[in-house]
Protein backbone atom coordinates (compact mmCIF):
# COMPACT_ATOMS: atom_id res chain seq x y z
CA UNK A 1 0.00 0.00 0.00
CA UNK A 2 1.27 3.47 -0.91
CA UNK A 3 0.48 4.66 2.61
CA UNK A 4 2.71 2.08 4.29
CA UNK A 5 5.07 3.74 6.78
CA UNK A 6 3.47 7.12 6.03
CA UNK A 7 2.28 9.50 8.74
CA UNK A 8 -0.90 11.28 7.69
CA UNK A 9 -1.97 14.54 9.35
CA UNK A 10 -5.57 15.70 8.90
CA UNK A 11 -6.00 19.34 9.90
CA UNK A 12 -9.55 19.84 11.16
CA UNK A 13 -11.90 17.58 13.11
CA UNK A 14 -15.22 18.28 11.42
CA UNK A 15 -17.35 15.61 9.70
CA UNK A 16 -15.10 15.48 6.62
CA UNK A 17 -11.83 15.12 8.50
CA UNK A 18 -13.19 12.57 10.98
CA UNK A 19 -14.83 10.51 8.23
CA UNK A 20 -11.55 10.44 6.31
CA UNK A 21 -9.65 9.39 9.43
CA UNK A 22 -12.10 6.53 10.05
CA UNK A 23 -11.95 5.29 6.45
CA UNK A 24 -8.16 5.41 6.36
CA UNK A 25 -7.81 3.63 9.70
CA UNK A 26 -10.02 0.84 8.41
CA UNK A 27 -7.35 0.38 5.72
CA UNK A 28 -4.53 0.29 8.29
CA UNK A 29 -3.21 3.82 7.72
CA UNK A 30 -1.38 5.84 10.38
CA UNK A 31 -3.57 8.92 10.88
CA UNK A 32 -3.71 11.81 13.34
CA UNK A 33 -6.38 14.49 13.34
CA UNK A 34 -5.32 17.91 14.64
CA UNK A 35 -8.26 19.95 15.91
CA UNK A 36 -8.09 23.46 17.36
CA UNK A 37 -10.93 22.88 19.88
CA UNK A 38 -9.69 22.33 23.43
CA UNK A 39 -11.66 19.08 23.71
CA UNK A 40 -14.65 17.29 22.24
CA UNK A 41 -17.07 19.40 24.31
CA UNK A 42 -15.51 22.79 23.58
CA UNK A 43 -17.90 23.97 20.88
CA UNK A 44 -21.68 24.08 20.57
CA UNK A 45 -22.41 22.31 17.30
CA UNK A 46 -24.62 24.10 14.76
CA UNK A 47 -27.76 23.22 12.85
CA UNK A 48 -28.68 19.61 12.07
CA UNK A 49 -27.32 17.99 8.94
CA UNK A 50 -29.26 16.03 6.34
CA UNK A 51 -27.29 13.20 4.76
CA UNK A 52 -27.82 12.01 1.19
CA UNK A 53 -27.80 8.50 -0.18
CA UNK A 54 -24.91 8.82 -2.66
CA UNK A 55 -22.61 10.99 -0.53
CA UNK A 56 -22.92 11.34 3.25
CA UNK A 57 -24.75 8.07 3.80
CA UNK A 58 -22.50 6.25 1.30
CA UNK A 59 -19.47 7.36 3.33
CA UNK A 60 -21.06 6.17 6.58
CA UNK A 61 -21.87 2.80 5.02
CA UNK A 62 -18.24 2.40 3.89
CA UNK A 63 -17.16 3.39 7.41
CA UNK A 64 -19.45 0.69 8.92
CA UNK A 65 -21.33 3.35 10.86
CA UNK A 66 -24.81 3.29 9.33
CA UNK A 67 -26.38 1.42 12.27
CA UNK A 68 -24.93 3.94 14.72
CA UNK A 69 -26.34 6.70 12.55
CA UNK A 70 -29.78 5.04 12.59
CA UNK A 71 -29.62 4.97 16.40
CA UNK A 72 -28.96 8.72 16.55
CA UNK A 73 -30.75 10.43 13.67
CA UNK A 74 -33.82 12.63 14.15
CA UNK A 75 -36.92 10.88 12.72
CA UNK A 76 -39.23 13.40 11.10
CA UNK A 77 -36.76 16.29 11.23
CA UNK A 78 -36.65 16.38 7.43
CA UNK A 79 -40.36 17.25 7.22
CA UNK A 80 -40.99 20.67 5.72
CA UNK A 81 -43.48 23.52 5.67
CA UNK A 82 -43.24 26.28 3.06
CA UNK A 83 -44.83 29.54 4.19
CA UNK A 84 -45.22 33.18 3.24
CA UNK A 85 -44.49 36.39 5.18
CA UNK A 86 -47.83 36.17 6.98
CA UNK A 87 -47.10 32.70 8.33
CA UNK A 88 -49.59 30.95 6.05
CA UNK A 89 -48.70 27.37 5.08
CA UNK A 90 -48.64 26.76 1.32
CA UNK A 91 -46.91 23.36 1.36
CA UNK A 92 -46.45 20.68 4.00
CA UNK A 93 -45.31 17.07 3.83
CA UNK A 94 -45.85 16.40 7.55
CA UNK A 95 -48.72 14.02 6.88
CA UNK A 96 -47.19 12.21 3.92
CA UNK A 97 -43.46 11.80 4.57
CA UNK A 98 -42.26 8.60 6.22
CA UNK A 99 -40.14 9.09 9.34
CA UNK A 100 -37.72 6.36 8.25
CA UNK A 101 -37.14 5.41 4.63
CA UNK A 102 -33.50 4.33 4.36
CA UNK A 103 -32.58 3.15 0.89
CA UNK A 104 -34.93 5.57 -0.85
CA UNK A 105 -33.09 7.95 -3.17
CA UNK A 106 -34.81 11.09 -1.85
CA UNK A 107 -34.69 10.24 1.86
CA UNK A 108 -32.45 12.76 3.61
CA UNK A 109 -32.37 11.84 7.30
CA UNK A 110 -31.23 14.57 9.67
CA UNK A 111 -28.87 14.33 12.62
CA UNK A 112 -27.50 16.86 15.08
CA UNK A 113 -23.95 17.88 14.25
CA UNK A 114 -22.88 16.98 17.77
CA UNK A 115 -24.36 13.50 17.49
CA UNK A 116 -22.62 12.88 14.15
CA UNK A 117 -19.33 14.12 15.54
CA UNK A 118 -19.70 11.82 18.56
CA UNK A 119 -20.34 8.78 16.31
CA UNK A 120 -17.26 9.54 14.24
CA UNK A 121 -15.03 10.31 17.23
CA UNK A 122 -15.98 7.09 19.00
CA UNK A 123 -15.20 5.08 15.86
CA UNK A 124 -11.57 6.21 15.83
CA UNK A 125 -8.62 4.60 17.57
CA UNK A 126 -7.72 6.09 20.94
CA UNK A 127 -5.80 9.36 20.77
CA UNK A 128 -6.36 9.76 17.04
CA UNK A 129 -7.56 13.33 17.62
CA UNK A 130 -5.01 15.73 19.07
CA UNK A 131 -7.03 18.51 20.68
CA UNK A 132 -5.90 22.10 21.26
CA UNK A 133 -3.95 21.98 17.98
CA UNK A 134 -4.59 25.32 16.31
CA UNK A 135 -2.68 25.29 13.01
CA UNK A 136 -0.28 28.21 12.52
CA UNK A 137 2.07 27.26 9.68
CA UNK A 138 4.05 24.47 8.05
CA UNK A 139 7.13 24.06 5.93
CA UNK A 140 8.51 21.34 3.73
CA UNK A 141 10.99 18.93 5.26
CA UNK A 142 12.43 15.95 3.38
CA UNK A 143 9.47 14.30 1.61
CA UNK A 144 6.89 15.72 4.01
CA UNK A 145 5.94 18.66 6.20
CA UNK A 146 6.68 20.05 9.66
CA UNK A 147 3.48 21.50 11.09
CA UNK A 148 3.44 24.20 13.78
CA UNK A 149 0.59 24.83 16.21
CA UNK A 150 -0.37 27.79 18.39
CA UNK A 151 0.36 25.83 21.58
CA UNK A 152 4.03 25.56 20.54
CA UNK A 153 3.91 21.96 19.36
CA UNK A 154 5.47 20.90 16.07
CA UNK A 155 4.92 17.57 14.32
CA UNK A 156 6.15 15.90 11.15
CA UNK A 157 3.81 14.30 8.62
CA UNK A 158 4.48 12.63 5.30
CA UNK A 159 1.05 13.68 3.99
CA UNK A 160 -1.09 16.66 5.07
CA UNK A 161 -4.81 16.88 4.32
CA UNK A 162 -6.64 20.13 5.03
CA UNK A 163 -10.15 19.60 6.36
CA UNK A 164 -10.22 22.94 8.15
CA UNK A 165 -13.28 24.57 6.66
CA UNK A 166 -14.14 27.68 4.69
CA UNK A 167 -11.35 29.75 6.25
CA UNK A 168 -8.79 27.03 5.65
CA UNK A 169 -5.18 27.78 6.57
CA UNK A 170 -4.04 24.83 4.45
CA UNK A 171 -5.65 25.99 1.21
CA UNK A 172 -3.11 28.83 0.59
CA UNK A 173 -0.32 26.21 0.48
CA UNK A 174 -2.14 24.69 -2.52
CA UNK A 175 -3.70 27.59 -4.40
CA UNK A 176 -4.12 31.35 -4.26
CA UNK A 177 -7.59 31.13 -5.85
CA UNK A 178 -10.10 32.64 -3.41
CA UNK A 179 -13.85 32.15 -3.10
CA UNK A 180 -16.10 35.03 -4.16
CA UNK A 181 -19.00 36.58 -2.24
CA UNK A 182 -22.39 35.25 -3.36
CA UNK A 183 -24.33 38.43 -2.58
CA UNK A 184 -26.30 36.75 0.20
CA UNK A 185 -25.82 37.03 3.96
CA UNK A 186 -27.41 34.90 6.68
CA UNK A 187 -28.10 36.19 10.18
CA UNK A 188 -28.07 33.17 12.49
CA UNK A 189 -29.99 32.85 15.72
CA UNK A 190 -30.29 29.99 18.23
CA UNK A 191 -33.15 29.45 20.65
CA UNK A 192 -32.71 27.22 23.71
CA UNK A 193 -35.58 25.44 25.50
CA UNK A 194 -37.72 26.42 22.54
CA UNK A 195 -40.84 24.62 23.80
CA UNK A 196 -41.08 27.18 26.59
CA UNK A 197 -39.18 30.18 25.26
CA UNK A 198 -40.64 30.20 21.73
CA UNK A 199 -43.76 28.07 22.08
CA UNK A 200 -45.60 29.34 18.98
CA UNK A 201 -42.67 28.72 16.63
CA UNK A 202 -41.95 25.40 18.36
CA UNK A 203 -45.53 24.24 17.73
CA UNK A 204 -45.45 25.49 14.15
CA UNK A 205 -42.24 23.60 13.39
CA UNK A 206 -43.68 20.39 14.84
CA UNK A 207 -40.23 18.80 14.90
CA UNK A 208 -39.41 19.68 11.29
CA UNK A 209 -38.27 22.64 9.19
CA UNK A 210 -39.82 25.85 7.89
CA UNK A 211 -38.86 27.85 4.83
CA UNK A 212 -40.69 31.19 4.71
CA UNK A 213 -40.32 33.26 1.54
CA UNK A 214 -40.98 36.93 0.93
CA UNK A 215 -39.72 39.36 -1.71
CA UNK A 216 -35.94 38.77 -1.83
CA UNK A 217 -35.90 37.89 1.89
CA UNK A 218 -36.35 34.56 3.68
CA UNK A 219 -36.59 32.98 7.10
CA UNK A 220 -35.24 29.43 7.36
CA UNK A 221 -35.46 27.39 10.54
CA UNK A 222 -35.34 23.89 11.95
CA UNK A 223 -35.87 21.87 15.10
CA UNK A 224 -32.86 20.31 16.81
CA UNK A 225 -32.79 17.13 18.84
CA UNK A 226 -32.00 18.84 22.14
CA UNK A 227 -35.05 21.07 22.23
CA UNK A 228 -33.37 23.97 20.43
CA UNK A 229 -34.37 25.83 17.30
CA UNK A 230 -31.83 27.21 14.86
CA UNK A 231 -32.90 29.86 12.37
CA UNK A 232 -31.52 32.17 9.70
CA UNK A 233 -32.74 35.46 8.33
CA UNK A 234 -31.46 35.25 4.75
CA UNK A 235 -31.17 38.32 2.49
CA UNK A 236 -29.15 40.04 -0.20
CA UNK A 237 -26.60 42.50 1.17
CA UNK A 238 -23.16 44.00 0.47
CA UNK A 239 -20.25 41.78 1.49
CA UNK A 240 -19.30 44.05 4.40
CA UNK A 241 -22.89 44.43 5.64
CA UNK A 242 -22.17 43.15 9.17
CA UNK A 243 -19.31 45.59 9.78
CA UNK A 244 -21.19 48.57 8.34
CA UNK A 245 -24.67 47.83 9.68
CA UNK A 246 -24.16 49.61 13.00
CA UNK A 247 -25.91 46.73 14.71
CA UNK A 248 -24.96 45.30 18.09
CA UNK A 249 -25.48 41.59 17.48
CA UNK A 250 -25.77 41.02 21.23
CA UNK A 251 -28.81 43.34 21.49
CA UNK A 252 -32.06 41.45 20.88
CA UNK A 253 -34.17 44.60 21.01
CA UNK A 254 -32.06 46.25 18.33
CA UNK A 255 -32.14 43.14 16.13
CA UNK A 256 -35.92 42.90 16.40
CA UNK A 257 -36.20 46.53 15.30
CA UNK A 258 -33.87 45.75 12.41
CA UNK A 259 -36.14 42.86 11.40
CA UNK A 260 -39.24 45.08 11.53
CA UNK A 261 -37.54 47.65 9.30
CA UNK A 262 -35.92 45.26 6.82
CA UNK A 263 -38.80 42.74 6.68
CA UNK A 264 -41.69 45.24 6.81
CA UNK A 265 -44.25 42.97 5.10
CA UNK A 266 -43.63 40.15 7.56
CA UNK A 267 -46.13 39.26 10.27
CA UNK A 268 -45.50 39.78 13.98
CA UNK A 269 -45.79 35.96 14.28
CA UNK A 270 -42.06 35.88 13.48
CA UNK A 271 -41.03 38.34 16.21
CA UNK A 272 -40.80 35.48 18.71
CA UNK A 273 -37.68 34.26 16.90
CA UNK A 274 -35.80 37.45 17.71
CA UNK A 275 -37.28 37.89 21.18
CA UNK A 276 -36.18 34.39 22.23
CA UNK A 277 -32.73 34.09 20.64
CA UNK A 278 -29.66 33.54 22.77
CA UNK A 279 -27.27 36.34 21.88
CA UNK A 280 -25.15 37.09 20.04
CA UNK A 281 -26.69 36.66 16.62
CA UNK A 282 -24.06 35.58 14.08
CA UNK A 283 -23.83 37.23 10.65
CA UNK A 284 -22.60 34.83 7.96
CA UNK A 285 -21.73 36.22 4.51
CA UNK A 286 -21.99 33.36 2.03
CA UNK A 287 -19.08 32.58 -0.31
CA UNK A 288 -18.60 30.29 -3.30
CA UNK A 289 -15.67 28.77 -5.16
CA UNK A 290 -14.94 29.81 -8.75
CA UNK A 291 -16.33 27.04 -10.96
CA UNK A 292 -13.11 26.79 -12.97
CA UNK A 293 -10.67 26.57 -10.05
CA UNK A 294 -7.63 24.36 -10.57
CA UNK A 295 -4.14 23.87 -9.17
CA UNK A 296 -1.06 21.76 -9.62
CA UNK A 297 -1.30 18.49 -7.73
CA UNK A 298 1.13 17.78 -4.90
CA UNK A 299 2.34 14.33 -3.88
CA UNK A 300 1.86 15.01 -0.16
CA UNK A 301 -0.82 17.68 0.27
CA UNK A 302 -4.51 18.10 -0.56
CA UNK A 303 -7.79 19.49 0.81
CA UNK A 304 -11.36 18.30 1.33
CA UNK A 305 -14.72 19.81 2.21
CA UNK A 306 -15.18 23.57 2.51
CA UNK A 307 -11.41 24.01 2.44
CA UNK A 308 -11.56 22.79 -1.17
CA UNK A 309 -14.95 24.05 -2.31
CA UNK A 310 -16.91 26.34 -0.01
CA UNK A 311 -20.32 27.03 -1.52
CA UNK A 312 -23.74 28.44 -0.58
CA UNK A 313 -25.92 26.18 1.59
CA UNK A 314 -28.95 26.36 -0.71
CA UNK A 315 -28.57 22.85 -2.12
CA UNK A 316 -27.99 21.18 1.26
CA UNK A 317 -24.75 19.63 0.04
CA UNK A 318 -22.03 21.06 2.31
CA UNK A 319 -21.41 18.20 4.73
CA UNK A 320 -22.36 15.64 2.09
CA UNK A 321 -19.68 16.97 -0.25
CA UNK A 322 -17.10 16.85 2.55
CA UNK A 323 -17.95 13.24 3.40
CA UNK A 324 -17.99 12.33 -0.30
CA UNK A 325 -14.51 13.87 -0.58
CA UNK A 326 -13.38 11.74 2.36
CA UNK A 327 -14.79 8.61 0.71
CA UNK A 328 -13.20 9.27 -2.68
CA UNK A 329 -9.84 10.41 -1.30
CA UNK A 330 -9.57 7.38 0.98
CA UNK A 331 -10.32 5.09 -1.97
CA UNK A 332 -7.74 6.81 -4.18
CA UNK A 333 -5.03 6.74 -1.50
CA UNK A 334 -5.55 3.03 -0.78
CA UNK A 335 -6.13 1.81 -4.34
CA UNK A 336 -3.59 -0.23 -6.30
CA UNK A 337 -4.64 1.33 -9.61
CA UNK A 338 -2.45 4.42 -9.17
CA UNK A 339 1.30 4.42 -9.73
CA UNK A 340 2.13 6.73 -6.81
CA UNK A 341 0.58 9.14 -4.28
CA UNK A 342 0.67 12.10 -6.66
CA UNK A 343 -1.28 10.12 -9.23
CA UNK A 344 -3.82 9.08 -6.59
CA UNK A 345 -4.27 12.62 -5.26
CA UNK A 346 -4.54 14.00 -8.79
CA UNK A 347 -7.36 11.58 -9.62
CA UNK A 348 -9.25 12.59 -6.47
CA UNK A 349 -8.76 16.33 -7.06
CA UNK A 350 -9.89 16.26 -10.69
CA UNK A 351 -13.08 14.38 -9.83
CA UNK A 352 -13.70 16.49 -6.72
CA UNK A 353 -13.30 19.83 -8.51
CA UNK A 354 -15.61 18.76 -11.33
CA UNK A 355 -18.50 17.65 -9.12
CA UNK A 356 -17.97 20.57 -6.70
CA UNK A 357 -18.32 23.04 -9.58
CA UNK A 358 -21.63 21.45 -10.61
CA UNK A 359 -23.06 21.55 -7.07
CA UNK A 360 -21.72 25.07 -6.41
CA UNK A 361 -23.46 26.31 -9.55
CA UNK A 362 -26.69 24.61 -8.46
CA UNK A 363 -26.37 26.15 -4.98
CA UNK A 364 -25.87 29.65 -6.39
CA UNK A 365 -28.85 29.26 -8.72
CA UNK A 366 -31.02 28.02 -5.84
CA UNK A 367 -29.91 31.02 -3.78
CA UNK A 368 -31.04 33.36 -6.55
CA UNK A 369 -34.41 31.60 -6.79
CA UNK A 370 -34.90 31.74 -3.03
CA UNK A 371 -34.14 35.47 -2.93
CA UNK A 372 -36.11 36.56 -5.98
CA UNK A 373 -39.25 38.71 -6.13
CA UNK A 374 -41.32 35.58 -6.81
CA UNK A 375 -39.46 33.18 -4.51
CA UNK A 376 -42.57 31.65 -2.97
CA UNK A 377 -44.09 30.76 -6.33
CA UNK A 378 -40.81 29.35 -7.65
CA UNK A 379 -40.16 27.24 -4.58
CA UNK A 380 -43.72 25.92 -4.44
CA UNK A 381 -43.37 24.74 -8.03
CA UNK A 382 -40.13 23.02 -7.06
CA UNK A 383 -41.56 21.22 -4.01
CA UNK A 384 -44.71 20.24 -5.89
CA UNK A 385 -42.58 18.61 -8.57
CA UNK A 386 -43.29 20.94 -11.49
Q: How far is CA 290 from CA 296, 350, 358, in A?
A: 16, 15, 11
Residue 306 CA to residue 163 CA, distance in Å, equals 7
Query: Could you tell me which residues are annotated as the binding site?
Result: 43, 50, 113, 306
Q: How far is CA 93 from CA 49, 202, 209, in A?
A: 19, 17, 10
Neighbours of 222 (CB within 10 A): 24
User: In the chain, what is the greatest distance between 2 CA atoms, to the nearest angstrom?
Assistant: 64
Residue 295 CA to residue 177 CA, distance in Å, equals 9
Report the chain's terminal Cα–Cα distance, integer Å.
Answer: 49
Which residues have C-beta within 8 Å of that of residue 369, sequence separation ≥ 6?
375, 378, 379, 382
Query: Could you tell me which residues are annotated as the binding site for NADPH?
Result: 43
Residue 312 half-sphere exposure toward CB, CA atoms < 13 A = 28
Query: Could you tell me which residues are annotated as the binding site for FAD?
Result: 50, 113, 306
Task: Render 314-360 in DSSP notation, one character per residue.
Answer: TTS-HHHHHHHHHHHHHHHHH-TTSSSHHHHHHHHHHHHHHHHHHHH
Strand 229-236 relative to strand 180-191, pairing = antiparallel
Alpha-helical (H) ranges within the chain are 15-26, 56-62, 66-70, 113-123, 194-197, 199-205, 241-244, 252-262, 271-276, 306-309, 318-334, 341-370, 375-383
Q: How far is CA 346 from CA 13, 295, 296, 316, 318, in A?
A: 23, 10, 9, 27, 22
Residue 327 CA to residue 355 CA, distance in Å, equals 14
Q: Calculate the CA 30 to chain-centre distance.
A: 26
DSSP state of 176: -
Amino acid sequence: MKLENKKIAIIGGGPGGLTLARLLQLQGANVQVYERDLDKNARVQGSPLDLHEKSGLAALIKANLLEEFKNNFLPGADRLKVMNEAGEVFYSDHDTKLEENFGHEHFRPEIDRGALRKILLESLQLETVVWNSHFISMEKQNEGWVIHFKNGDAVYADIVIGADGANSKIRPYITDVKPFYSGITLLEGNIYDAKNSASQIFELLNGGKIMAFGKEKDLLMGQRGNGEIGFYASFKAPENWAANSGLDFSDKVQLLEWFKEEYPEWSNHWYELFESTATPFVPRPIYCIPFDQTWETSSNLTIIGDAAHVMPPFAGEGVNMAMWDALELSECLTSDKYTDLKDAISSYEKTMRKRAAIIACESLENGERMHSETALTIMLEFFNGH
